[in-house]
Amino acid sequence: MKYFLLAIAVFLFSAEIQAQNFDNYFIDNALRIDYVFSGDAASQTVSLDQLNQLPQWAGRRSNLSQLQWKGNGQIKISDEKSGECIYMDAFSTLFSEWQTTPEAGNVRKSFENTFLVPFPKGKVIIEISLRDKTGKYTSAIKHVVDPNDILIKKKGLKNLPAYTLIHQGGEVSKCVNVAILAEGFKADEMGKFREYAKIACKQIFNHTPFNNLKDKFNFYAIETVSEDSGVSVPREGKWNSTAFHSHFDTFYSDRYLTTTHVKDIHDAIAGIPYAHIIILANTDVYGGGGIFNSYTLTTTGHEGFKPVVVHEFGHSFAGLADEYFYESDVLDNTYSHDVEPWEFNITTLVDFSSKWEKMLKAGTPVPTDVKKGDKYKVGVYEGAGYSAKGIYRPAVDCRMKTNTCKDFCPVCQNAIEQLVKFYTE
C-alpha cells in the first residue's frame, strides 16, 4: 500500500510538471540571449554577450520542460528559488560543424549564437550544455538572469521592416511561426522576393506531413533590404554588401551558403512574431544550409530551389540529418560510428530501438539490401550522414537524400509530425 501511495504521489507530481502552465513562470514576451561560442577542435567556451527583450513570445507554450530531440546543444531554464526546470530547448550550431573541419585543428574561432526563450517573471538560472563526441552533454555556461535587470535591451518596438503574412494557420500562440527573410534583395526587388517566399511556403506544404498540418503554421515574408543585389561568392572574388553578410564556400565547401552574423538576423526581425527562420538568398548559384533551431539559408534563382528549401527546412525546423553521403565530403568526421546520433532519421545501430525500429515490417532484414527497396519502404539502408559505411538511413530515397525524390521518407514524415505535435499540442 505504501508503495502504491508513493506511486500515486509520483504520478500526480509528474502530471503537475507536465501541465505546468506557461503563465506561472513567463510573460508573453521573448528573452533573446546572445552568446559567443569559441574554441577549436579540442576545446570550447560559451560566453554571454547581450540580453534582449522582444515584445511577443512566438514559440511553444506546451511541453515546456521537455525536449523532442536532443540536439548538439541544449538550453535549460530553471526557476532560481525552487531549482525546477521550467523550459528547455535543443539546437545545433555552425560552430560545432566547424569544429570537425581541418581548420579547427590549427586555430581558435568564435561564432555568434542567439536563442529565444519565453521571458521569465522571476529570477532564473540559464544553462547551456554541449554534446561531446561520446554523446554526453556537458555544461558550458550557467548564469542567473534577473528579469528586472535594466541592461536587458528592449528591441522590436519601432522601425520594423515591411512584412506580410503569406500563410495564416491560426493564432500566434497556437502555431509554429516561421519568418522568411530576404538576403541580397535591393529595395526595388521586394516584389520578386515576395514571390519566392510564397513558392517556398507552397513547396513546404507540397510535402507530407506539412500538407496535413497547414493549420499549425504561420509564415511571414519579411522585406529585409540589402545594399547590393546578390550574395557573396568568395571563390569568384565576389563580396557583396547584404543584410546578413552570407556567403558560399563556408568551410571551403562550394555549395555551403551560411552566415555567422546571427545577431543581425534577429535584430532585423525583432518585433515580428517568429520562432523559426528561413532566409532566401537572391542568387542563381546552387547551394544552401540549414542548422537545427538556428536558420535555413538557401538560394532562389537556381532550379534546385524548390526541393532544396524544403530539405534545408528539414534540418533547421525538424532536426533531420542528411541521408546522403559522398566520399569526398568535407564534413565526413561529423558522426562517430560508435555513438548513436541524436537525429531521428539516421542510425549507427548502437541504439536502434530509440529510432524507427518499431516502423519496420516484420521480417525486414537489418541492414536492408538497397535492391530490396521496393519490398521494404522502411528499412535500414547503409550510407547516410556523409558516410558510405557504418551509418544507416530509413529508405532508399528521401527529401533528406536527393533533390529528385518527391517527398520525405516515412520515417522523416513521422519525425516531423511528432515535432509539430510537440510544439503545438
Which element (helix H / strand E) includes 200? Answer: helix 190-205
Residues that bind Zn ion (CB under 5 A): 345, 398, 400, 409, 412
Nearer to Zn ion, 330 or 412 (CB): 412
Amino acid at 262: V
Would you say 182 or 409 has its CB closer to Zn ion?
A: 409
Residue placing its CB nearer to Zn ion in the complex, 263 or 306: 306
Evaluated on CA atoms 238, 242, 245, 248, the torsion sign reads negative
CB of 307 to Zn ion, least distance (A): 13
* Of 115 and 408, CB closest to Zn ion: 408
Closest separation between CB of residue 354 and Zn ion, Å? 16
Residue 361: CB atoms within 10 A of its CB come to 10
Q: Which residue has the cell 526587388?
A: 189
Q: What is the smallest separation between the CB atom of 420 and Zn ion, expressed in angstroms? A: 16
Residues 6 or more apart whose Cβ sits within 8 Å of residue 420: 176, 209, 213, 216
Identify the helix (H) or strand (E) that includes residue 268: helix 262-269
In the complex with Zn ion, the residue whose CB is nearer, 304 or 410, is 410
Residue 314 Cβ, how far from Zn ion at the closest point, in Å?
Answer: 8
Whether 178 contacts 276, CB under 8 Å: yes
CB of 321 to Zn ion, least distance (A): 9
- Mode of pairing for the β-strands spanning 176-183 and 217-222: parallel
The nearer residue to Zn ion, 20 or 345, going by C-beta atoms, is 345
CB neighbours of 328 closer than 8 A, spacing ≥ 6?
Answer: none
Which residue's CB is nearer to Zn ion, number 266 or number 355? 355
Query: Smallest distance from the beta carbon of 400 to Zn ion, in angstroms?
Result: 4
> How does strand 163-168 pair with strand 387-393?
unpaired
Q: Output 145 or 395, the one with its CB closest to Zn ion.
A: 395
Between residues 116 and 396, which has the closer beta carbon with respect to Zn ion? 396
| Torsional class of 271: left (φ above 0), alpha (ψ -120 to 50), beta (otherwise) | left
Query: Per the structure block, which three cell numbers stand in for 42?
Result: 579540442
Least distance (Å) between residue 384 CB and Zn ion:
9
Give the DSSP letter of residue 369. -
Nearer to Zn ion by Cβ, of 228 and 407: the residue is 407
Which residue lies nearer to Zn ion by CB, 243 or 396?
A: 396
From 388, 422, 419, 203, select the one nearest 307 (Cα to Cα): 203
Cβ neighbours around 241 below 10 Å, total:
10
**In sequence order, which residues have a C-beta less than 8 Å from that of residue 61 and are 6 or more positions away?**
22, 173
Nearest approach, Cβ of residue 156 and Zn ion (Å) = 36
Can you say how many angstroms the Cα of residue 89 is from the centroid of all Cα atoms in its chain? 10
Minimum distance, C-beta of residue 401 to Zn ion, in the bound complex (Å): 7
Q: For residues 61 and 24, what is the distance between their CA atoms, to the nearest angstrom?
A: 11
Nearest approach in angstroms of CB 350 to Zn ion is: 19
Positive or negative: CA dihedral 359, 362, 365, 370:
negative
Q: Which ranges in 19-132 belong to alpha helices (H)?
A: 22-25, 94-98
- 214 Cβ partners below 8 Å, 6+ apart? 167, 169, 205
CB of 345 to Zn ion, least distance (A): 5
Pairing of strands 295-299, 381-384: unpaired
